[in-house]
Structure 1
Amino acid sequence: MKILYGVQATGNGHITRARALAERFNQAGIEVDYLFSGRPRENFFDMDIFGNWQCYKGLTFIHESGKLNITKTIHSNSLKTLFADIKNLDLSEYDFVLTDFEPITAWAARKQKKTCIGVGHQYAFFNDVPRRGDNLVSRAIMKHFAPADIHLGLHWHHFGHAILPPIAEIHETHLPVDAKKIVVYLGFESHEDVIQLLEPFKDHLFVIYGPYARYQSHGHIQLKPLSREGFQVDLSTASGVICNAGFELASEAIQLGKKLLVKPLHGQMEQLSNARALEELQLAMTMDSLDTKAVRQWLTGFKGKRVVYPDVAKAIVDWLQYSNKKDTQILADTLWAQVELPSNHSAQTTTSQIQAA
């Protein structure tokens, strides 16, 4: 078996999922080539597990101060380059294509009549899941951006459909959790605005990860360059996470039982819908803007709820190897039966909501 795996690299969550699957592919002895698109090659880090990976321009989204900039997004993308890359990508040596919302591999598979399997959070939106900010444009993007023949959608709940739990790879340490330590990853927001948001809360330590050239300390606020290993340690030892409403980091925080405060990217249906789903499942608190009052309320009153997910990456790799690649419902049912929901009294509402949804 030989697979081409396309990964949309505009967000680190897609790459994190790909790392988890790559590890399981390696253990299973499956030959996989990796194609990433959506950001310049020099902006990737910790990519050794993907071997001799390919990088294409693809399509990307431009954001400014917590909002999607449609005009700049249109001008920054070259459809001519995209169409040429789709046309020139040869899939003849592959048994099928796996895509995590990556358009070049998905459209090349469609044009060459090669089976394409979509794995990722976006493919959950082909079902009836909580939505916010939904419109004709967002629906068209979801449908046509990276089309697939088979969908392995991921979400925090199945909502009555053949949706899989998150691929939430966590790396717990034996170090104690600091009740006053908060990890902050607000990559879509202005750096200055984030610091201003956190400045009043001097009794907490905020560790902010971003594209910084070096470590900086500003009293109770620390700025750290992007580092996968460093981030994992800080995430494990923190009591909470403040982040945009992407899927992967929120999933890791929930799996670790961290309290979670999310601020969705405006103009982006997926993040707006994620915020709504997290609220409905009572797994996070949300804020529509960088709101000091919301942060104070979250710091003093919100409790994290831990949901333990099974090894979804291994289950997917086994399914790709041994199934007929048609019945996704059995895979979904098997995985959700292994999910460990919160058992404490404060989580009972969440549990009953999940079971009734």
Structure 2
Amino acid sequence: MNILYGVQGTGNGHITRARVLAEALSRRSDIQVDYLFSGREPQQYFDMQIFDEYQTKQGMTFVTHKGRVDRWQTARQLKLRQLIDDVQQLPMGDYDLVINDFEPISAWAAQLRHVPSISISHQACFLSPVPNIGKGMLDNLLLRYFAPTTYNLGVHWYHFGQSILPPFVTDVSQPVAPSGRILVYLPFEELNEIGALLRQFPEQGFDVFHPHLTSDTQQDNIHWYVPCKNAFKHCLQASDGVIGNAGFELSSECLHLGKKLLLKPLHGQFEQLSNVVTLEKMGRCQTMQRLDASAVRRWLTFDSVEPVRFPAKADLLVEWILDENWQDSRELCDALWQQVSFPPDVKQKLAGI
């Protein structure tokens, strides 16, 4: 089977999910996969070895400013003519299937060439009745038409009675000595504002990763890191907790490792606001609507939580893809949820949703 896998490159969550599926796909000799990424500059991708000779396109991304989606600037920077040309010029003749994670070029190219396509993404779960907040008419249009596919397979922390997959969390469970430090990943916030917040807690060490950094530096109680998969993984495993935006993949890893979470959702993005709603229902996060020292001070006193164990390997998903019965995912979803282990308190809370 020849597959084109299109991945949204804005943020690192889509790429993290793609790495897990790429590893499972690479173990099959009867599958050939090409990868296409869009949504960020080519030089900003890192640790991409698993994808071999991937290609990049400009695509479309959302512009943020001071922790909020800037829809006006998003519209201004959209190069619609380039996007249309990329869709029309993308070769599709040899592909049997397109797998898509909210990537518009491969999705629209598949639609126009009548190549079957499957969305395997967190965004796809919001096409089903799951907890959400702040989803307006524009959000509904984006969900349906930004990267449309023939079939949709959503990914979430709970199935809510729908055909939804659990997340795959891999490569994060090796034992690491606890550091007592806090991991901070707030890529949509300003560096000076992050520093001003964290310097109010001189007795607490922080490891901060941010895409605007160009080198690793140490300043008082803060260690600043450029994005790096291995360094991030080590700091995450050793940390006492995580302060972040409300992205899906990092929150999944924190649930899996039993890390306490303090989340500042990206304003203007209903997906992150909805993620907070679900995590609060599960009793697995605290939130702040701005970079709030009092919220950080209170959260630092909290204990760690029991982990939610998610599947580590995507081999069952690959088998389902090869079976080509893509309109029926119930058996696959049931099998994967049997691999999920919820602590008793989370089970009780989910039963009430």
TM-score, length basis structure 2: 0.96
Deviates further, 216-225 or 303-312? 303-312
Show CA shifts across 1:141-166 (max 9, x none).
11111011111100011111111101
CA contact (8 A) 1:61 1:73 kept: yes
Instruction: Determine helix, strand or coil for the equivalent of 2:240.
Output: strand
CA contact (8 A) 1:284 1:304 kept: no
What is the correspondence of 1:314-333 to structure 2 with a 5 Å cutoff?
314-333=315-334
Residue pair 1:206, 1:220 contacting (<8 A) in 2 also: yes
Q: CA deviation at 1:323?
A: 4.9
Give the Å deviation of 1:351. 1.4
State whether residues 19 and 50 of structure 2, in contact with CA within 8 Å, keep that contact through their aligned partners in structure 1: yes
Corresponding position of 2:342: 341
| Preserved CA contact (<8 Å) 1:283 1:305 | no
1:352 maps to 2:352:
no
Give the whole-Å Cα distance in 2 for the aligned partners of 1:103 and 1:323: 23
Task: Report the TM-score when normalising by structure 1.
Answer: 0.95
Once the two structures are TM-superposed, the CA of residue 312 in structure 1 deviates from its matched residue by 5.2
SS of the residue corresponding to residue 148 of structure 1 reads: coil
- How far 1:284 sits from its partner (Å)? 1.1
**1:163 corresponds to 2:164:** yes
State the SS of the aligned residue for 1:52.
coil
Distance 1:285 1:259 in 2: 8
Aligned residues of 1:188 and 1:265 also touching (Cα < 8 A): yes
Q: Is the 8 A contact 1:170 1:256 kept in 2?
A: no
CA positional deviation for 1:215: 1.5
Residue type of the alignment partner of 2:48? M
The answer to which of 169-178 and 76-85 deviates more is 169-178
Does 1:136 pair with 2:148?
no
Distance 1:63 1:302 in 2: 32
Asked whether the equivalents of residues 260 and 285 of structure 2 are also in contact (C-alpha less than 8 Å), the reply is: yes
Match of 2:150 in 1: 149
> Could you tell me whether the CA contact under 8 Å between 1:164 and 1:332 is conserved in 2?
yes
Q: How many residues align?
A: 351
Instruction: Quote the sequence identity (%).
Output: 41
C-alpha deviations, 1:59-96, integer Å up to 9, x for none? Answer: 01100110011111111111111111111112110111
**1:302, CA displacement in angstroms?**
5.0
Amino acid at match of 2:332: L
Secondary structure of the residue aligned to 1:63 is coil
- Which stretch of structure 1 is more off in the superposition, 211-220 or 19-28? 211-220
TM-fit CA distance, 1:313: 2.1
Match of 2:230 in 1: 229
Can you list the C-alpha shifts for 1:248-299, whole angstroms capped at 9, x where unaligned?
1110111111111111100111111111111111111111111111111111
- Cα distance in 1 for residues equivalent to 2:273 and 2:77: 23
Structure 1 counterpart of 2:350, which letter? Answer: I
Q: Which amino acid aligns with 1:86?
A: V
What is the alpha-carbon distance in structure 2 between the residues aligned to residue 75 and residue 327 of structure 1?
Answer: 40
SS at match of 2:314: helix
CA–CA separation in structure 1 for the residues paired with 2:169 and 2:154: 14
Post-superposition CA distance 1:8-33 (Å, at most 9, x none):
00111111111111111111222100
CA contact (8 A) 1:170 1:255 kept: no
SS at match of 1:3: strand
8 Å Cα contact 2:264/2:290 also seen in 1: yes
Match of 2:9 in 1: 9
CA–CA separation in structure 1 for the residues paired with 2:303 and 2:132: 23
**CA separation in 2, counterparts of 1:223 and 1:207?**
6
What amino acid is the match of 1:185? Y
RMSD over aligned CA atoms reads 1.3
308-317 or 248-257: bigger deviation: 308-317
Amino acid at match of 2:159: H
CA distance in 1, matches of 2:226, 2:91: 37
What are the residue-to-residue correspondences of 1:153-232 with 2, within 5 Å? 153-178=154-179, 180-211=180-211, 212-232=213-233
Task: Give the match for residue 62 of structure 2.
Answer: 61
Partner secondary structure for residue 99 of structure 2:
strand
Specify every segment of 5 or more residues in structure 1 that has no aligned partner in the other structure, as ranges: none
The CA distance in 2 between the partners of 1:314 and 1:256, in whole Å, is: 22
Secondary structure at 2:267's aligned position in 1?
Answer: coil
- Mapped contact 1:123–1:153 kept (Cα < 8 A): yes
Shift in Å, 1:174: 2.9
User: Which of 206-215 and 60-69 deviates more?
Assistant: 206-215
Q: How does 1:163-312 map to 2 (within 5 A)?
A: 163-178=164-179, 180-211=180-211, 212-311=213-312
Give the letter aligned to residue 10 of structure 1: T
User: Where does structure 2 lack aligned partners over 5 or more consecutive residues?
Assistant: none
Q: Deviations over 1:158-209 (max 9, x none)?
A: 111111101222323332123x311000000011111111112222210001
Q: Distance in 2 between matches of 1:199 and 1:316?
A: 45
In 1, distance between residues paired with 2:55 and 2:175?
37
* Equivalent position of 1:97 in the other structure: 98
Query: In structure 2, the residue corresponding to 1:324 is in which secondary structure?
Result: coil
Taking the aligned partners of 2:299 and 2:319, their CA distance within structure 1 comes to 40
Distance in 1 (alpha carbons) for counterparts of 2:101 and 2:324: 20
Name the SS of the counterpart of 1:172 in structure 2.
Answer: coil
CA distance in 1, matches of 2:171, 2:160: 24
Query: Shift of residue 355 of structure 1?
Result: 3.3
